[in-house]
Amino acid sequence: MKFGVMTTPGLVIDGKLISQGKVYTVEQLEELLKKHA
């Protein structure tokens, strides 16, 4: 509960909660990583 994720899956990048409760495609994950990493 450190990041306050209430629904799974939760996505945390560099200690910041980016998303919760959504399943992403590989392409969507690649875009999120480019944007937030």
- Please give the pLDDT value at position 1: 62
- Please give the pLDDT value at position 4: 84
Name the pTM for this structure: 0.71
Instruction: Measure the N-to-C terminal CA separation of the chain; round to a whole number of Å.
Output: 22
- Please give the pLDDT value at position 8: 92
Beta carbons within 8 Å of 15's beta carbon, 6+ residues apart: none
Cα–Cα dist 11/17, whole Å: 6
Q: Do residues 32 and 20 make contact, with C-beta atoms less than 8 angstroms apart?
A: no
1-37 tens-digit pLDDT:
688 888 999 999 989 999 999 999 999 999 999 999 8
Domain boundaries, the chain: 1-37
